[in-house]
Structure 1
């Protein structure tokens, strides 16, 4: 019986595109309107990868109704789209890597905390949807990152077991999500320094720095999946 295929799972923000500075600017403008002094860049360094409404919940000292948080998140999304409208570009080397990965037999999935319209705003504008066998967003799972649901559901739909999945992630909580799902990680250093990741197979600046053959080699050299770090998650104000 032939081996099952491997799968490559991709986060979207900070992985397919280098948009974190624009996300941070949108949050900062929202905070200014709300009279908040939170530093958006530092906030995203801790919590990037989570839905915007969840991130926003952490910046208020008193509870805010869910409906109001969703309104703030929608305002932030509009600000982000205006700021990023003319800047939408894939990370260097992405399309050639996706084409080579498909030719090498990898299954390919997208697992993101974004909603369907936000996903389309990026991947359809950049004509990337055709490279993904599966697209999973925040409306497809009960819990977003750092819970395992996003990547677990992506793997389930791909029909590939977790131990044969590699996740491309730029965020600490996304990396934790992958480990909780039983997967290995390749870090993308658009938002973090390489040493800030917990235990990636490797860290790349963009997709010119990796080939499908190198992914196979990394998997062979590192067969074990790291355990998620409770200390690291706690440090980033999350509960495991």
Structure 2
């Protein structure tokens, strides 16, 4: 029997998926690092750790432990810099709205699952009028653990009333891909941040949503009936590498 869209859900990360903003995120981190006298290169850092909360990413750049309150202040400063840099650049990834509308019309349930907080979600989602497309939105305040843990996607699936094996995650980051597999979900990779060869085992790597249709998603699910096992070693290597 052919698969039905109404029996499946699509869960989208935000940064690097709904929008192509990694270089602006990296620039904001780089400006913060310059203010703090740090020599860390922000873009390679984000290519490894995208998907994690900013405070968690910041923990990796200091040689000595930094109090959580101080990390929060640095993260807030980075967020301010990012919003200034990205203010006039907010654009959805090509084909996104058309695909979301087609997916909903086909019967898919739709969710947003991101490591960002409510204000940052609003800065993107409401400015681009995307909130209307999602049945569920899950952010960092809704889970105890961020990516590469599966919590974000697991909570989204639970709120949608959909079992994990019927969920497809759209991710641009390796740690987000690992979170999908930890949650027993399949993944479509969005190549805004990483080269296709850098992902573990997505069903497909797209450059934007002009390449995708609801029928193609169902065909991918037919061709990939099970979620891959997560590579804990791969995720750990990405996280620990300096």
Normalized against structure 2, the TM-score is what? 0.96
Determine whether 1:8 maps to 2:13. Answer: no
RMSD: 1.1
The residue that corresponds to 1:195 in the other structure is: 197
**Residues of 2 paired with 1:237 and 1:115: CA distance?**
22
C-alpha displacement of 1:5: 1.7
**Residues of 2 paired with 1:237 and 1:154: CA distance?**
24
**Residues of 2 paired with 1:233 and 1:100: CA distance?**
33
The residue that corresponds to 1:104 in the other structure is: 106
Determine whether 1:75 maps to 2:52. Answer: no
**Residues of 1 paired with 2:24 and 2:36: CA distance?**
18
C-alpha displacement of 1:148: 0.6
The residue that corresponds to 1:26 in the other structure is: 28
Superposed, 1:177-192 pairs within 5 Å as: 177-192=179-194
SS of 1:17's partner is coil
C-alpha displacement of 1:230: 1.9
Determine whether 1:168 maps to 2:170. Answer: yes
**Residues of 1 paired with 2:204 and 2:180: CA distance?**
15
The residue that corresponds to 1:61 in the other structure is: 63
C-alpha displacement of 1:181: 0.5
SS of 1:237's partner is helix
Find the partner of 2:115 among 113, 116, 128. 113
**Residues of 1 paired with 2:128 and 2:232: CA distance?**
37
Give the gaps of 5 or more residues in structure 2: none
**Residues of 1 paired with 2:59 and 2:133: CA distance?**
34
C-alpha displacement of 1:231: 2.1
**Residues of 1 paired with 2:237 and 2:41: CA distance?**
17
Find the partner of 1:206 among 192, 205, 208. 208
C-alpha displacement of 1:21: 0.2
Give the gaps of 5 or more residues in structure 1: none
SS of 1:185's partner is strand
Normalized against structure 1, the TM-score is what? 0.97
Q: How many residues align?
A: 237
Find the partner of 1:90 among 89, 92, 103. 92
The residue that corresponds to 1:145 in the other structure is: 147
1:70-110 alpha-carbon deviations (Å, 9 max, x no partner): 00000000000000000000000000000000000000000
The residue that corresponds to 1:129 in the other structure is: 131
The residue that corresponds to 1:226 in the other structure is: 228
C-alpha displacement of 1:15: 0.1
1:140-199 alpha-carbon deviations (Å, 9 max, x no partner): 000000101000000000000000000000000000000000000000000000110000
Q: Which runs of at least 4 in structure 1 moved beyond 3 Å after TM superposition?
A: none
C-alpha displacement of 1:135: 0.3
The residue that corresponds to 1:52 in the other structure is: 54
**Residues of 2 paired with 1:142 and 1:234: CA distance?**
19
